[in-house]
Amino acid sequence: SRTYVITGAASGIGRTAAEILTARGERVIGVDLQGVDVSGDLSTPEGRLAAAEEAAGLAGGTVDAVIACAGLSIPKPITASVNFFGMTEFLEAIRPALTRSEAPRVALVSSMASMQPVVPSLVDALLADDEAAVDEIATRMAEDPRTANVIYPSSKRAISRWVRREAPTERWAGAGIPLNAVAPGTVVTPMTKELLASDEGRALTDAYVPMPLNSHQGPESIAHLLIWLTSIENSHCAGQTIYCDGGADAVLRGEDV
């Protein structure tokens, strides 16, 4: 069996991926604030490092795959920090354990929101690994209702760009590690529960993310793709953000391929 480390494994997409893999007989080491194998806070540099070390230790030094799901969608600076550094720094820290696997794989969760308008200075500060600048810019954005909700799309745009930039390098492709992201549309999880509970919330969400195929789906719709991307079968897909969104990307971007 393969050993998977899954962040955000206590809820939603991460939890579902962990359940499917465990049922298949794979070994899963969950990372989350609480309630799974490794309790850790991915919003701080120390928390990311400690969680990666503990997960690699529990795995016995060799990790076959990482599925990074942990994220927040609140209009606060912590969303930028968890969604971006909570994935990228965690992955950098656990990479040595991946290089010991015979078939290492990594998949991250981006979002359809990565295509929405962003604040370029925040995206640039994230990609420059400048956490102080990120805090400063995101704090200013959070204070203004016109920009507070742009923190989330900016963090996800940065994730998709990071995957594209990193995947072909020596650290990932060069080390035989396919690195990819999945961009879900609207998924029915605790993150979207409140939003989807009201008619207005649903109408607003569906206007941003029109999903002609099967509309609102549960977390297994995303978990299965994350599992394929991190399976041995994926030997050639790298650097991609794959939209798993009921056709929303095709509606919004049309033939602009």
Smaller CB distance to ligand NAI: residue 14 or 239? 14
Binding mask 78-117 for ligand NAI (x = CB under 6 A): ----xx-------------------------x-x------
Smaller CB distance to ligand NAI: residue 78 or 173? 78
Q: Is 194 helix (H, G, I), strand (E, B) or coil?
A: helix
CA distance 254 to 217: 22
CA dihedral sign, ordered 246, 105, 70, 166: negative
- Under the binding rule (CB under 6 A), the answer on residue 72 touching ligand NAI is yes
Q: Long-range contacts made by residues 143-147, C-beta under 8 angstroms, separation at least 24?
A: 147/119
- Under the binding rule (CB under 6 A), the answer on residue 43 touching ligand NAI is yes
Q: Answer yes or no: 208 catalytic.
A: no
CB of 195 to ligand NAI, least distance (A): 8
CA distance 190 to 111: 16
- Under the binding rule (CB under 6 A), the answer on residue 160 touching ligand NAI is no
CA angle 138, 206, 14 (to 5 degrees): 60
- Under the binding rule (CB under 6 A), the answer on residue 191 touching ligand NAI is yes
CB of 65 to ligand NAI, least distance (A): 17
Smaller CB distance to ligand NAI: residue 38 or 141? 38
Residues designated as active site? 152
